[in-house]
């Protein structure tokens, strides 16, 4: 259960969680100015619009104690073009602001206001929310500022009353409304039970008093003379019922009969005079091209004044005759029963077509009903204008918000593009850095490999050099042995050999054997040297090829292709030379 608070301080519990709700238990609240009618809206064929079918009256309640203080607010403050909201329960205060705005800003620098006859439940917050719309220019802003300064403090609170004074006034207004209702129920109930007792309405101004004229003039004053009671408190013109309570039944019957006769005579009089004025207008105006310049509107107006009818009344009567002339026999019967004031109202060119048809059909029979229907139409039109204006303002605000959103989105897109571009630059820089680091690593690894290969090559070279030096030393030693053997051979040859003892063949054989042995040793030494040289060359080629491969990998593709061709040609030459060995 939620506790809700009425404007009068009454507390009600309901099983709902809404922030505002309606209290329809208002039997003791009749006369409270804050009651609102409730009921479905139904389409009226007579009025050609939706009309609320009132089922009862309710009080709008809030889930928190009522704030009786009036205050003004605006989304952007008093210095911009946004609407100004005034929230208050003091309807007199809202009326005062509305009248001041209408008097001060006739050029619509500030529009909007308060209408007690068109209260809407959605407009109730704590108080009733009244909206003003400034023109979308400097004059509108200045008008809004003037209203704010005229009635409110800078913080939006009311100037002429404090919250406690406002609360006292609002509670007093509620009690006053209930008191007035309690004092007048008999009058209202009597009328509800006898609605046909209320006389039809008309006004004495509808046909003016005659001025001096020839004897044959129609005396409009006599035809429209008010039926005054002895006390002079009511007349047929103001639509108020005559007080027959102090008269006898016979006198009352006579007066009521006379009242009906006068009312019927007036209705017939208006219709007859309207027809006569229309005939005169047709003769003097519609035939003006066929006769002298005396046939004119001026002559028509002068004739009407001659018979005691003013210019404005004459043209009103023409409108009444046009209304009667365009009616069907059934509609004519209804119009003949209408009061002069109702005929004048329905005959106006500005009269809504649905109201005119309602008068012709007999759905509207009194001028008061016509005025109430017209008030509803005007209230709806005013509400529609306000809604249209609110919608237009909301549309403009929405367009402004959309434009701001689009601008913000464009700025976000631009920043996103900049961010993406920067991220691309960072990514590119990172890739370049990674590539550079990779190349640096590869270069370093290649350098280390080359350095290692160089060391290996140097070791192989040193080994080959040592082997070559050893081979050379062995060759030199062999040469020295050969030279020594040769010297020995020469020495042997030089020594005398005794014939008897030395066999020349044996000597030659030994010499040849020594020579062959020396030649064989030299050949073996030469082969060993050749083998060592070939082996040393192959190791050098292998080391150089290792260095070449490491350097080859760091070269671009176009340079690699050129070197590959040379390597293939060199490989083919090596293969060819090998096959020829």
Tell whether pTM > 0.85: no
CA dihedral 404, 405, 411, 414 (to 10 degrees): -140
Q: How many CB atoms lie within 10 A of CB 458?
A: 12
DSSP conformation class of 41: E
Q: Which residue in the block uniquely carries the two structure tokens 């946004």?
A: 82
Residues 6 or more apart in contact with residue 161 via CB below 8 angstroms: 70, 90, 169
CA–CA gap between residue 119 and residue 113 (Å, rounded)? 11
What is the reported pLDDT for 151? 93
Q: From start to end of 89-127, where are the E strands? A: 110-112
- 3 forms bridges with which residues in the sheet? 13
Q: Which of 133, 134, 140, 96 is nearest to 114 (CA)?
A: 96
| DSSP three-state, residue 376 | helix
Q: What is the mean pLDDT of each run of 10 residues along the chain (581 residues)?
A: 86 82 82 85 72 82 87 79 87 90 87 81 77 87 90 90 89 84 48 36 37 33 33 45 79 81 78 88 72 76 89 88 84 82 86 88 87 87 82 82 86 88 86 81 79 81 78 76 76 63 70 78 78 81 82 83 85 84 72
What is the reported pLDDT for 289? 60
CA–CA gap between residue 307 and residue 218 (Å, rounded)? 6
What is the reported pLDDT for 194? 38
CA–CA gap between residue 286 and residue 296 (Å, rounded)? 8
CA–CA gap between residue 469 and residue 471 (Å, rounded)? 5
Q: What is the largest CA-CA distance in the chain?
A: 219
Chain centroid to CA 315: how far?
52
Q: What does each C-alpha distance from 281 to 205, 278, 430 come to in angstroms?
A: 22, 5, 99
What is the reported pLDDT for 503? 66
Q: Which of 53, 71, 60, 58 is nearest to 5 (CA)?
A: 60
Give the tokens for residue 282.
Answer: 């047709």
* Residue 148 CB burial class (10 angstroms; 0-12, 13-18, ≥19): buried
| DSSP three-state, residue 379 | helix
* Residue 64 CB burial class (10 angstroms; 0-12, 13-18, ≥19): exposed
> What phi-psi label fits residue 239: left (phi over 0), alpha (psi between -120 and 50 degrees) or beta?
left
What is the reported pLDDT for 50? 67
CA dihedral 376, 379, 380, 384 (to 10 degrees): 170
> What phi-psi label fits residue 57: left (phi over 0), alpha (psi between -120 and 50 degrees) or beta?
beta
Q: Are 324 and 347 in contact (CB under 8 A)?
A: no
Please enumerate, as own/partner, the contacts of 482-488 that have beta carbons within 8 Å and a separation of 24 or more.
482/518, 482/521, 482/522, 485/514, 485/518, 486/518
What is the reported pLDDT for 238? 44
Instruction: Provide the terminal-to-terminal Cα distance of the chain, rounded to the nearest Å.
Output: 117
* Residue 133 CB burial class (10 angstroms; 0-12, 13-18, ≥19): buried
Q: Which of 316, 317, 306, 313 is nearest to 211 (CA)?
A: 306
Q: Which of 131, 100, 126 is nearest to 114 (CA)?
A: 131
DSSP conformation class of 280: H
Q: Which helix (H) or strand (E) segment is 33 a member of?
A: none
């Amino acid at each position: 259960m939620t506790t809700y608070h009425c404007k009068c301080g009454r507390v009600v519990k309901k099983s709902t969680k809404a922030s505002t709700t309606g209290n329809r238990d208002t039997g003791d609240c009749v006369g409270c100015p804050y009651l609102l009618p409730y009921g479905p809206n139904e389409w009226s064929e007579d009025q050609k619009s939706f009309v609320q079918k009132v089922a009862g009256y309710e009080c709008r309640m809030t889930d928190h104690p009522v704030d009786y203080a009036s205050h003004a607010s605006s989304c952007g403050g008093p210095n911009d073009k946004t609407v100004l909201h005034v929230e208050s329960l003091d309807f007199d205060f809202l009326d005062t602001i509305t009248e001041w705005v209408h008097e001060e800003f006739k050029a619509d620098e500030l529009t909007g206001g308060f209408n007690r006859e068109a209260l809407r439940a959605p407009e109730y917050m704590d108080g009733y929310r009244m909206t003003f719309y400034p023109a979308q220019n400097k004059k509108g802003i200045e008008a809004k500022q003037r209203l704010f300064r005229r009635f409110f403090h800078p913080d939006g609170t009311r100037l002429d009353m404090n919250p406690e004074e406002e609360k006292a006034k609002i509670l007093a207004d509620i009690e006053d409304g209930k008191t007035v209702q309690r004092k007048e129920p008999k009058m209202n109930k009597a009328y509800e039970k006898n609605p046909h007792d209320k006389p039809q309405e008309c006004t004495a101004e509808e046909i003016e008093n005659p001025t001096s004229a020839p004897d044959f003039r129609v005396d409009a004053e006599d035809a429209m003379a008010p039926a005054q009671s002895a006390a002079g408190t009511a007349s047929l013109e103001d639509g108020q019922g005559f007080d027959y309570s102090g008269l006898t039944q016979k006198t009352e019957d006579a007066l009521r009969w006379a009242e009906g006769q006068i009312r019927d005579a007036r209705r017939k009089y208006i219709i007859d005079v309207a027809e006569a004025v229309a005939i005169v207008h047709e003769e003097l105006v519609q035939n003006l091209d066929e006769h002298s310049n005396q046939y004119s509107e001026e002559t028509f107006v002068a004739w009407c004044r001659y018979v005691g009818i003013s210019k404005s009344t004459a043209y009103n009567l023409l409108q009444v005759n046009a209304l009667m002339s365009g009616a069907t026999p059934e509609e004519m019967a209804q119009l003949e029963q209408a009061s002069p004031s109702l005929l004048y109202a329905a005959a106006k060119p500005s009269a809504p077509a649905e109201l005119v048809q309602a008068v012709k059909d007999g759905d509207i029979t009194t001028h008061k009903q016509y005025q109430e229907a017209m008030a509803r139409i005007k209230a709806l039109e005013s509400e529609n204008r306000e809604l249209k204006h609110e919608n237009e303002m909301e549309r403009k605000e929405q367009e402004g918000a959309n434009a701001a959103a689009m601008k913000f989105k464009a700025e976000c897109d631009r920043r996103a593009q900049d961010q993406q571009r920067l991220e691309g630059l960072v990514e590119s820089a990172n890739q370049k850095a990674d590539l550079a680091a990779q190349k640096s690593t590869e270069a370093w690894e290649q350098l280390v490999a080359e350095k290692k290969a160089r060391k290996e090559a140097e070791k192989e070279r040193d080994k080959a050099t040592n082997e070559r030096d050893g081979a050379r030393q062995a060759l030199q030693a062999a040469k020295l042995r050969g030279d020594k053997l040769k010297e020995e051979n020469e020495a042997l040859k030089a020594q005398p050999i005794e014939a008897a003892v030395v066999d020349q063949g044996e000597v030659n054989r030994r010499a040849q054997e020594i020579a062959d042995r020396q030649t064989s040793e030299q050949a073996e030494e030469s082969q060993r040297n050749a083998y060592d040289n070939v082996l040393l060359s192959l190791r050098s080629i292998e080391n150089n090829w290792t260095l070449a491969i490491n350097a080859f990998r760091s070269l671009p593709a176009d340079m690699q292709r050129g070197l590959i061709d040379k390597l293939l040609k060199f490989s083919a030459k090596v293969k060819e030379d090998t096959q020829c060995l």
